[in-house]
Amino acid sequence: MESQTELRYRQSNRLLSLLLDNHTVEEVVETISYLMEKPVVFIDINFSIRGVSRTNEITDPSWNLAIAKGFCSHEFIFEIVNIEEVKRFPKERTPYIVGLESESKVLVSPVIIREKYAGAMVMFFQDAEVTNQHLELLLLANEVLTEIILKIPQYKYIRGNMNEGILMDLIEGRDKENADFKSWVLESELNSSNNLCVLVSEQNDDGLYQEGIKDSLRDDFYHVFPKSHAIFYGNQMVVLCTDLEKEKTEKGIRRLKSFMEKHGLRIGMSDFFNGIENFQYYYLQAGAAIRIGVSVHQKKRFYHYGDYKFFHLIEKIHSDTRNNLKDFVQSSLLILEKYDRQHQSELFYTLNTLVDHGCNYKETCANLHIHRNTLSYRMERIKALTQLDLADPKVQFDLAYSFRILEFLRHQ
């Protein structure tokens, strides 16, 4: 007959062998459940059911409902976090016992990744006593599961915390109207409604961020914007900045530019907004700022959406093939472009600079590095060729958006 020592050795080897062949979280749960002949559930930081085995032996109705849904309801979580044992939640993996209303009990082993709570393994007991063997093997299963989560890319969002899961769901437009999801937001660190903005960061080579540098990047980013939450999505690092004040943001952006140089990044910044439920819309703004900014101003690294909002508008119009954007351009500008080509002059650029500076002659001269008389001479030529009345605000507006359209078209 096999001794207890031999049995434990065999069981431990069975669990450790899972690490060698890139087994899944679900397989770890199934294995520990098989070895202990007990139902086992793994729940992640978002209280989603990520692995479950022998569910037919679970008699607690609240757990049965959660398993059937695939996630724990807000009411159920509220009940869990108010259990006295859970209030004394350990900061380590050591399993502890929690009694259930159904008079059964569970052995809970918190999953701790990078010193943060990332979920829990839960083993159910109907009548049997909890032994040292249960404690030792559940703890070992926890350690194996943790290594698998760190090792396999598909589990990268289990590695973080509730904030990451919520931001991912918001980006992809999932569950925003779900009552339980709204409860998650209230309980998370994202429960902030004012002075929010989104930053989207991409590497200059358009590649994916390497796993090895993600934590370093995120830590550096938190040093620049302490009140922020970052996730990696495709080839982007997406950051929600909360409770920003304009003055501090401007200082942060100066530090951010050094950060970009250090890591070879380009960054798009959304407008400010209120309400985390609007995160997806402003994430798309920040992404558009990079996409359009790179095509218009290739040498820049930082792109604020406010500078490219009009380009975003005309991009959407341009996507409709029925629209010819040049139809919306002030015809006088086309006359100036043609004149400049024929005479190697700079009337188009001069008028563009004047409009950009609100028709202020002094600022325009300083920007163009020309004398006021030179500017006056050029403006006389422009008026003679186009008959434009630059004192008319409507004409100034028409010219402003026409210059933007032509700039957009030059980079298509």
User: For residue 237, which of 303, 291, 286 has the smallest C-alpha distance?
Assistant: 286
- pLDDT tens profile 18-70: 777 767 888 888 988 888 889 999 988 767 788 889 888 888 888 888 888 88
**CATH 3.30.43.10 applies to domain 161-316:** no
pLDDT at residue number 286:
94
- pLDDT tens profile 358-391: 888 899 999 989 999 998 999 899 898 888 888 8
- pLDDT tens profile 302-329: 899 888 888 888 777 766 655 577 777 7
pLDDT at residue number 198:
92
pLDDT at residue number 2:
57
Average pLDDT, the chain: 80
The position carrying tokens 């350690």 is 143
Distances in whole angstroms, Cα of residue 300 to Cα of each of 89, 182, 276, 286, 296: 48, 38, 29, 15, 9
Q: Is the pLDDT of residue 90 over 60?
A: no
Task: Give the residue, 197 or 316, on which the prediction is more confident.
Answer: 197
Beta bridge partners of 108: 96, 122
Structure tokens at 213: 């540098």
Task: Specify the amino acid at residue 49.
Answer: I
Q: Is the pLDDT of residue 280 over 80?
A: yes
Task: Give the residue, 283 or 228, on which the prediction is more confident.
Answer: 283
pLDDT at residue number 301:
85
pLDDT at residue number 95:
86
pTM: 0.53
Q: Where are the domains of the chain?
A: 4-155, 161-316, 319-410
- The topology (CATH level 3) of 4-155 is Beta-Lactamase (3.30.450)
Q: Is the pLDDT of residue 155 over 90?
A: no
Q: Which CATH class, in words, describes the domain spanning 319-410?
A: mainly alpha
Task: Give the residue, 370 or 179, on which the prediction is more confident.
Answer: 370
